Structure 1
Amino acid sequence: MNQITVYTTNTCPYCTMMTNFLTENGLPFKEVNVQQEPLAANYLANKTGQMGVPQTEVNGQWVLGFDPDRIMQLVK
């Protein structure tokens, strides 16, 4: 089972593209909105050194931005 978490904001078009991509490919994921959860924003900054979204954690690996090819490489 894949562990996928997408970190998003309310105004990010690439976040919507990422969640739509995962949904269309039947990949279950958890969405965390960093605007609504400030602790998640701190977690991202500490884990990846990046504040941009989307950031997607796939089975412990990080994907920055909308990168469907990289997502598909990481899913089992």
Structure 2
Amino acid sequence: MSDVAIYTQPSCPYCSHAKALLESRQIAYEELDVSGDPQVLTEMIERTGGRTFPQIMVGNQAIGGFDDLRSLDSNGELLPLLQTQRGKTDTGGI
């Protein structure tokens, strides 16, 4: 299981941008498409408190949407956050 989960819906440009940023940094993620499963949408709201897309989790920490992800990356905080989560879960590679 990946340290990063991203809740998405089809045709969401911010979801595409978030996935592209993660892929450009070679960060594995689990995509959870809420469009076909109301339970996944309920899970997203409960885990993140958010109702917009995407909603991104790093480990058990909700970091918000694409703008928040981009800000963490721009400020050099994304990789250290992932490394911290990796240490907590001991999953191996990012």
More strand by share: 1
CA contact (8 A) 1:44 1:50 kept: yes
Q: Which consecutive residues of structure 1, in runs of 5 or more, have no partner in the other structure?
A: none
More helix by share: 2
For normalisation by structure 1, the TM-score amounts to 0.86
Alpha-carbon RMSD across the aligned residues, in angstroms, is 1.8
Q: Secondary structure at the match of 1:27?
A: coil
Which runs of at least 4 in structure 1 moved beyond 3 Å after TM superposition? none
Structure-1 residue corresponding to 2:71: 69
Asked if 1:5 corresponds to 2:5, the answer is yes
1:75–1:2 distance in 2 versus 1, CA, 3 Å: farther
Query: Larger radius of gyration, structure 1 or 2?
Result: 2
CA contact (8 A) 1:8 1:32 kept: yes
Q: Secondary structure at the match of 2:5?
A: strand
Q: Which consecutive residues of structure 2, in runs of 5 or more, have no partner in the other structure?
A: 84-94
Letter matched to residue 68 of structure 1: R
**After the TM superposition, which of the residue ranges 32-41 and 18-27 deviates more from structure 2?**
32-41
For normalisation by structure 2, the TM-score amounts to 0.71
**After the TM superposition, which of the residue ranges 53-62 and 1-10 deviates more from structure 2?**
1-10
Letter matched to residue 22 of structure 2: L
How many pairs align? 76
**Per chain length, whose mean CA-contact separation is higher, i.e. which structure has more relative contact order (CA < 8 Å, sep 6+)?**
1
